[in-house]
A = this chain, B = another copy of it.
């Protein structure tokens, strides 16, 4: 999917919602466990109930790998189902990969070719040659961690570098700036946690045009309106993710309807923000 196609979908649906498919067999409705592939059946029901409200789905690979081969098969069936049934949906493999060049090429092949995701999340620690192999893919997007939504974000991401030797700014800002010089950096998006809304205006000075994938609204305490106030650009430029608040809204047989109700609440909040922001 091209960036323009994603922007078009946001306009059409009046939504920039990404639904995180972090499926834990201990949390899904127990009646699904009798089925052959409970994880896929759960995802399919959630997707069918929310596809007109969300512009993206984001399966987190950890939740599939934890179930071994069966889990990987559920992931494969899920992405195939989305691509076949709702081809306008933007898909994110939340995998946080990153390794030396020839290895990152294999990860890119896994997510962009074998599974055919539109995007994959990557970690920046190993630098340029660990990310560029992902960027090389046409109409695919590489979403790099910048400032994450967890407590540990303050361990290293906000360390300030030496002004005389290393730039004199927080590590996550250095990550953002440095990445702009990489080959095919136009294929980069960034993860920025919603729990740190006040950081968005600083981040927008460095990457005004890039899409930001924003976890941490809802369950992790971030505010949608604050994020939008500081983080939105002329193309919206945000994908706000919600996982648990939507997919585990109920663990009864009504789970899909309840998930839709939660997704609808978020979409309506987004529609209001969009209409206020772009009213002129």
Does A33 sit at the interface, judged by CB under 8 A?
no
A216 to chain B minimum Cβ distance, whole angstroms, is 9
Q: Considering the chains assembled together, what is the distance between the CA atoms of A167 and B128 in angstroms? A: 25
Q: Considering the chains assembled together, what is the distance between the CA atoms of A85 and B72 in angstroms? A: 26
Contact A151 B129 (CB under 8 A): yes
Contact B65 A106 (CB under 8 A): yes
27 contacts between A and B (CB under 8 A): A22-B103, A24-B106, A62-B103, A67-B114, A68-B76, A68-B110, A68-B114, A68-B115, A69-B72, A71-B110, A96-B98, A100-B148, A100-B149, A101-B150, A123-B125, A123-B126, A125-B156, A126-B145, A126-B150, A126-B157, A127-B151, A129-B152, A130-B150, A130-B152, A160-B166, A162-B162, A171-B171
Q: Considering the chains assembled together, what is the distance between the CA atoms of A161 and B155 in angstroms? A: 13
A165 with B160, Cβ < 8 A, contacts A66-B114, A106-B66 known:
yes
Q: Considering the chains assembled together, what is the distance between the CA atoms of A53 and B69 in angstroms? A: 31
Interface residue from B109, B124, B152 paired with A66 (Cβ < 8 Å): B109
Contact A110 B175 (CB under 8 A): no
Does A242 sit at the interface, judged by CB under 8 A?
no
Which residues of B lie under 8 Å from residue A124 when comparing CB positions? 125, 155-156
Contact with B along A109-136 (1 / 0, CB 8 A): 1110011000000011111111100000
Residues in A lying within 8 Å of B, measured CB to CB? 22, 24, 60, 62-63, 65-69, 71-73, 76, 94, 96-104, 106-107, 109-111, 114-115, 123-131, 145, 148-157, 159-163, 165-168, 171, 174-175, 178, 215
Which residues of B lie under 8 Å from residue A62 when comparing CB positions? 97, 99, 103-104, 106-107, 110
Which residues of B lie under 8 Å from residue A131 when comparing CB positions? 152
Contact B152 A126 (CB under 8 A): yes
Interface residue from B73, B76, B97, B160 paired with A161 (Cβ < 8 Å): B160
Interface residue from B94, B145, B159 paired with A166 (Cβ < 8 Å): B159
Which residues of B lie under 8 Å from residue A22 when comparing CB positions? 102-103
A167 to chain B minimum Cβ distance, whole angstroms, is 7
Which residues of B lie under 8 Å from residue A102 when comparing CB positions? 22
Q: Considering the chains assembled together, what is the distance between the CA atoms of A250 and B228 in angstroms? A: 57
Contact A168 B162 (CB under 8 A): yes
Contact B168 A156 (CB under 8 A): no
Which residues of B lie under 8 Å from residue A126 when comparing CB positions? 96, 123, 145, 148, 150, 152-153, 157
Q: Considering the chains assembled together, what is the distance between the CA atoms of A163 and B156 in angstroms? A: 15
A160 to chain B minimum Cβ distance, whole angstroms, is 5
